[in-house]
Amino acid sequence: MTVFRKKFAQLLTEGVHRIRLREDKTVQIVQDELGYALEREGGSAIEYWRKGHIPANLAEVETLAREMVRRGHLEQSWLEQFLRSADHPNPDVLCAELFPVSATGVDQVYRSSSDPPSVETLPPFVAGPPLTHPYHFFGRQRELRRLFNLWQRPPLQNAALIGPRRSGKTSLLHYLRTITMTPTDQLRPGQKKDWLPKPDRYRWVLVDFQDPRLGRREGLLRYLLASLDLSVPTPCDLDGFLDVVSENLSAPTIILLDEIGVALQRYSELDDAFWEGLRSLATNQVGGNLAFVLSAPESPTQLAQQSNLGSPFFNIFGYTASIGPLIEAEARELMASSPIPFPAEDIEWILEQSKGWPILLQILCRERLLTLEEDETGPTWREDGLRQIEAFRYLLSGERG
């Protein structure tokens, strides 16, 4: 089974369970209804595809994607990964259809992302898309304490999150952005949210550099200004952007740069002059009210050197958080969140197989919960779980992936 097939199966399963929870239906009913939408006689095709088989018919992939996004309220990141895993030749077209861009050039999914979906609509375990709701985020308490301590008062300080692919960097960025303003009734009992003084004063902007629209300088500048509710100058070039922000930014602001390695490797418009402008803005022009957090598989200076960039922007990150496995207590807390308690021997087995890596924990917990919900017995779920985590075993060997 190829990596793409495994990925497709995982994302399809995530979507089915999202719909199941939102509509309070069984997995079989959801599969049947999706099959009917494809003009099939039932859900046998969906069940077959969930075992790692990709539909040969492109029209069926697109119809399935539309139905799942509509019924499951799935995010654009899920849709992009789903289409790519199905080897769709042009996923951007369908993404633009289902997640249109507003007149200001700001993707509406970013606009709405500050309001995370309710707990009741999300599956208990999420493996594939990043975690966007704080309720489902576990661990990283040491890193959270250090990060939020950087932003207690000006000057706000910069940070880098360094870890291998699928280690949970994007989920951590989402958590930083949402936790302090999430209502208590949307969190787990005892989940800490009072990380910052007067959290409503803080502005957060998440930049996902895997979105190619943010790889153009003007598109990125417009997005940043719109996200900060600042006017967009004409023309919207670097000078105009710096003028607007330096004159109007007074609230503490943290800009989260996800997958910055993509930006350095692919986007030629984001050159030394661009990064130097951002550095000058943060260090000299807004009274210490601006900080950057980046995520990458390697240190920012290494990435910049590999991309032949010499900007001093990549030297301002005074704190680096290494994103590795969860500690044992955090991993056990995640497993204990299952709506159906796991047997003790399964908890130990999951802990041993995952070594605390969040993506592996989520996958194995998802597989175990599914069998408990369907009253299945025997060790088959363990075999399925091991197959599902095969693509991520590089985490266990210490490789970057």
| Residue 133 predicted with pLDDT over 90 | no
Strand 203-208: give its sheet, edge to edge.
203-208, 253-258, 290-296, 159-162, 319-322
Q: Which residues of 289-302 are buried (b: 16+ CB within 10 A; e: fewer)?
A: bbbbbbbbbbebee
- pLDDT over 60 at 141, yes or no: yes
Q: Which residue has the tokens 């991520």?
A: 392
- DSSP, collapsed to helix, strand or coil, labels residue 20 as helix
Confidence of residue 3 (pLDDT cuts 50, 70, 90): low
Nearest CA among 297, 222, 224, 220 for reference residue 265:
297
| CB burial readout 256-280, b (16+ within 10 A) else e | bbbbbbbbbeebeebeeebbbbbbe
CB count in 10 Å sphere of residue 195? 16
pLDDT by residue (tens digit) across 172-186? 999 999 999 988 888
Q: How confident is the model at residue 108 (pLDDT cuts 50, 70, 90)?
A: very low
CA proximity to 178, closest of 197, 158, 199, 159: 199
Per-residue pLDDT at 107: 38
Q: CATH 1.10.260: which residues of the chain?
A: 3-101
Q: Report the SS3 class of residue 208.
A: strand
Q: Over the chain, what is the mean pLDDT?
A: 88
138's tokens = 């576990």
What pLDDT score does 118 carry?
57
pLDDT bin (cut points 50, 70, 90) of residue 93 is: confident
| Calpha distance 204→143 (Å, rounded) | 18
Domain 3-101: assigned CATH number: 1.10.260
pLDDT in tens, 297-337: 988 778 777 777 777 888 899 999 999 999 999 999 999 99
254 vs 78: which has the higher pLDDT: 254
Smallest CA-to-CA distance from 274 within 241, 244, 296, 249 is with 241
- Quick one: fold of 131-322? Rossmann fold (3.40.50)
What stretch(es) of the chain map to CATH 3.40.50.300? 131-322
Q: Give the burial class of 53: count Cβ atoms within 10 A of its Cβ; 0-12 exposed, 13-18 middle, 19 or more buried.
A: middle
How far apart, in Å, are the Cα atoms of 315 and each of 3, 154, 160, 186? 36, 19, 11, 38
